């Protein structure tokens, strides 16, 4: 294999790990296509998507002309949406049972109080499905009482009390079912499944996810043996802590001789939601090992304007597992107030999920964070952020009560 220029990229392999999302990966291809075209028009570069190359099950290829260079990026989505779908029960009763179990997991372990100390925004967002589901239950119970009372008050009705009770139970089930069907507007059941999936084993990875992350590590390892100038792993939301564990496996196995530059871009991470739980020993060890390795460049991007992320929280430091010698991550802000127009900010004011995926979208006035330059531009992640100071507003205080590692 020819000697590589350590900074210049002509061919890149990108692995994208999405968050807890049951939707097929073509959604991310269309998002990249649409937002990439918008960013290219704003920033004055060329970006064109072509069908996925051979050997990539889910993904696409990007032909880019950025900063005077032509770059080819092969993007592969590392899929775990099937695991997400399998974890999302359809029964209403199941959602309420998960509410009880998840609430107990975070309260009993002391994690929730410490998460509130760290960043109130995502902790309050975590309370949203609890409040909505309990509110829906209250309305359903009220409808049940009204229905039972109306039926029981019918003159001369045989077994009026029993019929009223049955009518109330039917009304309760019907109202809760209607709310469940309308969850695309409320996202309460979806979020409860998300938090329950994280908390189901006290922060330990479920067996199905352990197997999948081993497959992710194998895919990354194979790319590191390919003819690329950079292998870049992007983890968004819950996908960030999956990427941490997959990359830790890669690092511990050792990079192959002559491997391309290895970069890790974590976006809108929610690592403390897992690492603060008592059984998350594997993740805490992976955070420690990844931060202590100089075999890769790790840049963590978030924004205080994203209430769903632990914005500017150093995921290693706040988890209490920072090694004595650290090489990452570089924690920086996407600075929504400076990089998005007032009109766009107003449009997203109450759209919390839209803000959470902004990292994958176009910016009106991009600063040094430009998702499309990073994934399809001619500079490695290390070169692009060389000399970049971390955000002055970053949070590094260790709030985690549980710091033992696997």
Is residue 378 within 8 A of residue 71, CB to CB? The reply is: yes
| Maximum alpha-carbon separation in the chain | 93
Mean pLDDT in the chain?
A: 93
Q: Give the DSSP letter string of 352-389.
A: HHHHHTGGGS--SS--S--HHHHHHSSB-HHHHTTTPP
- Write out pLDDT tens, residues 159-195: 777 888 898 899 999 999 999 999 888 889 999 999 9
Tokens of 403: 């710091």
Quick one: which H or E segment has residue 11? strand 11-17
Q: Between residues 201 and 389, which one has the greater pLDDT?
A: 389
The predicted pLDDT at position 3 comes to 41
The predicted pLDDT at position 350 comes to 87
The predicted pLDDT at position 7 comes to 78
Indicate whether 109 pLDDT > 60.
Answer: yes
The predicted pLDDT at position 103 comes to 94
Tell me how far apart the alpha carbons of residues 269 and 315 are, in angstroms, rounded to a whole number: 8
Q: How confident is the model at residue 1 (pLDDT cuts 50, 70, 90)?
A: very low
Tell me how far apart the alpha carbons of residues 195 and 193 are, in angstroms, rounded to a whole number: 6
Indicate whether 360 pLDDT > 80.
Answer: yes
Indicate whether 61 pLDDT > 90.
Answer: yes
Quick one: which H or E segment has residue 30? helix 26-43
Contacts of 268 (CB under 8 A, 6+ apart): 236, 237, 240, 301, 302, 303, 306, 308, 309, 356, 357, 359
Tokens 């902790």 belong to: 123
Indicate whether 151 pLDDT > 50.
Answer: yes
* Cis before 367? omega within 30: no
Q: Strand pairing of 330-333 and 59-66?
A: unpaired
Report the CATH fold assignment for 11-82+203-384.
Rossmann fold (3.40.50)
CA 174 remoteness from chain centre? 33
Is residue 220 within 8 A of residue 233, CB to CB? The reply is: yes
The predicted pLDDT at position 6 comes to 65
Q: Between residues 161 and 62, which one has the greater pLDDT?
A: 62
Q: 0.75 exceeded by the pTM?
A: yes
**All structural domains of the chain with their residue ranges:** 11-82+203-384, 91-199
Tokens 């210049």 belong to: 8
Quick one: which H or E segment has residue 338? helix 336-339
Tokens of 306: 């994203």
Instruction: Give me Rg for the CA atoms of the chain.
Output: 24
* Local structure of residue 259 (DSSP, 8 states): P
Contacts of 88 (CB under 8 A, 6+ apart): 22, 190, 193
- Give the mean model confidence (pLDDT) for residues 385-405: 95
Is residue 62 within 8 A of residue 47, CB to CB? The reply is: yes
- Write out pLDDT tens, residues 267-313: 999 999 999 999 999 999 999 999 999 999 999 999 999 999 999 99
- Give the mean model confidence (pLDDT) for residues 34-61: 92
- Write out pLDDT tens, residues 223-273: 999 999 999 999 999 999 999 999 999 999 999 999 999 999 999 999 999
Is residue 24 within 8 A of residue 12, CB to CB? The reply is: no
Question: Among residues of the chain, what percentage have pLDDT more than 70?
Answer: 99
CA distances from 348 to 76, 225, 309, 353, 406 (A): 29, 42, 16, 9, 40
- Give the mean model confidence (pLDDT) for residues 138-166: 86
Is residue 401 within 8 A of residue 113, CB to CB? The reply is: no
- Write out pLDDT tens, residues 318-346: 999 999 999 999 999 999 999 999 999 99
Nearest to 333 by CA among 385, 275, 400: 385
Torsion, Cα 9 13 19 22, to 10 degrees, reads: 140
List the Cα angle 252/207/221 in 5-degree steps: 30
Is residue 36 within 8 A of residue 49, CB to CB? The reply is: yes
Q: How confident is the model at residue 55 (pLDDT cuts 50, 70, 90)?
A: confident
């Amino acid at each position: 294999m020819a000697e590589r220029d350590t900074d210049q990229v002509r061919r890149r392999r990108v692995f994208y790990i999405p968050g807890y999302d049951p939707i097929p990966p073509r959604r991310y291809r269309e998002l990249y296509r649409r937002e990439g075209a918008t960013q290219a028009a704003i920033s004055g570069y060329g970006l064109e998507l072509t069908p996925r190359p051979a050997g990539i099950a889910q993904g696409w290829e990007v032909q880019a002309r950025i900063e005077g260079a032509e770059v080819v990026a092969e993007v592969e989505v590392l899929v775990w949406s099937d695991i997400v779908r399998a974890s999302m029960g359809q029964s209403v009763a199941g959602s309420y049972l998960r509410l009880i179990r998840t609430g107990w997991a975070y309260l009993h372990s002391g994690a929730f109080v410490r998460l509130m100390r760290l960043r109130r925004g995502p902790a309050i967002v975590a309370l949203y499905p609890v409040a909505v589901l309990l509110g829906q239950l209250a309305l359903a119970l009220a409808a049940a009482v009204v229905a039972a009372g109306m039926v029981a008050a019918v003159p001369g009705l045989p077994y009026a009390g029993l019929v009223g009770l049955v009518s109330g139970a039917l009304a309760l089930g019907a109202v809760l079912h209607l709310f469940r069907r309308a969850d695309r507007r409320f996202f309460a059941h979806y979020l409860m499944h998300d938090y329950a999936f994280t908390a189901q084993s006290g922060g330990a990875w479920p067996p199905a996810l352990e197997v999948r992350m081993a497959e992710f590590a194998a895919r990354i390892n194979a790319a590191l043996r390919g003819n690329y100038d950079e292998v870049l792993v992007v983890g968004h939301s819950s996908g960030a802590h999956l990427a941490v564990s997959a990359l830790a496996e890669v690092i511990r196995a050792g990079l192959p001789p002559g491997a391309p530059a290895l970069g890790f871009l974590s976006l809108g991470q929610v690592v403390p939601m897992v690492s603060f739980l008592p059984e998350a020993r594997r993740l805490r060890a992976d955070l420690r090992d990844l931060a202590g390795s100089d075999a890769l460049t790790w840049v963590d991007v978030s924004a205080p304007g994203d209430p769903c992320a632990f914005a500017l929280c150093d995921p290693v430091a706040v988890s209490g597992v920072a090694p004595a010698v650290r090489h990452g991550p570089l924690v920086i802000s996407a600075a929504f107030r400076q990089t998005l127009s007032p009109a766009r900010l107003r449009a997203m004011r109450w759209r919390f999920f839209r803000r959470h995926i902004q990292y994958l979208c176009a910016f009106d006035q991009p600063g040094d964070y430009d998702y499309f330059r990073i994934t399809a531009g001619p500079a490695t992640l290390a070169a692009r952020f060389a000399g970049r100071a971390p955000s002055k507003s970053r949070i590094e205080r260790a709030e985690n009560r549980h710091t033992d590692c696997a």
